[in-house]
Structure 1
Amino acid sequence: MEVQPLQTVLVVDDMATNIDILLEVLKGDYKVKVALNGEEALEVIDSPNPPDIVLMDIMMPEMDGYEVCRRMKLNKKSRYIPVIFVTTKNAEDDETFGFELGAVDYITKPINPAIVKARVKTHLALHNQSIALEHQVADRTKDLYSTRLEIVRRLGIAAEYRDNETGLHIIRMSKYCRTIAKGFGFCDKEADILLNAAPMHDVGKIGIPDNILIKPGKLTPEEWKTMMTHTAIGGKIIGVHDNNLMTTARTVALTHHEKWNGTGYPNGLSGKNIPIEGRIAAIADVFDALTSKRPYKNAWPEEKAFDLILKERGEHFDPELVEIFFKNIEEIISIKQQYSK
């Protein structure tokens, strides 16, 4: 049977005799660290190996226990460490103030060893249970996100098969999106959400008839009208959700054919009324479409595609995003070469 390591108790008191008493009570069941003042306590708490629980006197010089507790609760690293005040201050107002600061319990001096042991054991058990529950929730959340992500990827690939494309288009387009998003100021998490949502941009093509979707020649006005419905179809396929991944995927599907000047579809949005995710996807999708071979055209040279994007700055595309695209052109070209057909 695996032996569990002892949990750590930090005892904070400016009186060495009080520390010695608590050390004697706890040393058989826990690893005990000590601090003689508030500054020392915060150093131990902020160390690479913080305590699992803190037993602390209130009345200490320079920085009292209340202030130590307050600072602990403002620190993300230590805010959940249980604090038990061990003190002669046992008035109701004192206890109320301590609980408001985040303490979990009070033990009155002179201490009763049995009470100290019981309180420490109880609050460590509650703390351990809380940590275990947080890990369980985090694991389930991760599993749920992974499942959603896989659904998004699979539907994106399904759309590409319908459009007679390879999965490389959605890889390139998605990575272009992430590059532009990072240049715009997205944090890594936000940029990764767009990266993982972008493969759904053309999922609505699943609902477009083959005679239109893979027609080798130019579409008639009526056929083009049908083709444009793939954005709305994509929005319906993805649906309305309360999580960022699916919400972003729906936004991209609905708005990646909107244009900065308001002449795009399906809703004729213009300027910053177009969600930023759609504006980013518009540049990424058009660049990859231009530089890729399709049933109805050959791939354009990169320079010709660059010229069109510059020409459409302020017309089709967000001018700021065009600037970001070219500032990151080396990374864009590297992605294109790495995931070429």
Structure 2
Amino acid sequence: MSDKAEVVIIGGGIIGLGLAWQLADRGINDIIVLEKGYIGVGSSGRAPVIINQHRTRKEMITLAKEGVKTLEELPTRLEFNPLFRQDGSINLASTQEEFDEIRKNVGLQNSLGVKTELLEPHEIKELIPPINEEKILGGAFIPSDGIPNPYAVLFGHVNALTKMGVEIRPFVEAKKIKVRSGETKGVTTKNSDINAPIIVDAAGGFAGEIAKTAGVKIPIQPMKREVLVTEMLKSSIDPAIISAHGNFYLAQMLRGEFACGSTAAKDGDPTLDSSLEFLRWISRRVVELIPQFAYVKIMRQWAGVIGVTPDKKPIIGGVNGVEGLYLACGLGDYGFTFFPAVTRLLAEDITSGETPDLLKPFSPERFEG
């Protein structure tokens, strides 16, 4: 294996792989991607992926919109099928305050070109017949949202990158980012040193730990998210459901099973251990909303770790004081939604030396001082 590269990317999730493709597409092929486990071991492979544009900030909606467009184009662009099923998603409100907030967001989303419909309870009932209408006041429906297969997207990138000459090294953990005189010099792994002038920290929930080795402190907190999957059912619920009030989501996967998870990460427990507490909590929430799920069997549950920042926005861009070090982390559980735009913009930043305007709100500089 080569002991030098033009770019080393730490993290083989969708952000690391997506960035590698964007850089290779711009002519930088001397790239090494390091992943401490197997591809998909992190948050990219440990949660059902709901691509949704239900956002409250202009810049986040813009990123999400590009994410949907790119997933629609991936079969042509990278020559693989992401199995992207666009049945839409619906964000439900159970209180007047939630409904007022959703109504405001619908206006913003439509103004930015994301077609969003504000629905009354009876209209939601038409979309989701088994729903308990008494538990909802309304909701917002985005028909272009959908669910891809995360492993199809991950390994579609792996195959494309391999053809482009990018080197992907699974089961190789980055131990330290080497810095000398304010410049990155490479990465130390367990078995070797890799010299490189450009290092990208895309290590998800553990990005803060590797950044510390370069003398950089970033406020990213690793948090646990848990998921369960039911038995396969013949009856279908087409749109993915997001409950603002219950802090959970429910979505039917390609084979008919339903995935349910929390939209609120658990602080202070960045482990992969699933819990009985979560099982009881999510079961109550889902059955309250769709009573027939009281008779559905749960097949398995698991957990993943995501990285969350204090302002719930990602950290994307170069680091002041350490030339050649870039961060691409803090995307929480929306990495798949944002990866097309985030990786494209960061690749532009790295290759041109100029930060695109859309990236500026996510700069690491906002946490300085």
> Same-fold call, TM > 0.5?
no
Q: Identify the structure with the greater helix proportion.
A: 1
If you compute each CA radius of gyration, which structure gives the higher value, 1 or 2? 1
TM-score normalised according to structure 2 size: 0.22
TM-score normalised according to structure 1 size: 0.23
Q: Identify the structure with the greater strand proportion.
A: 2
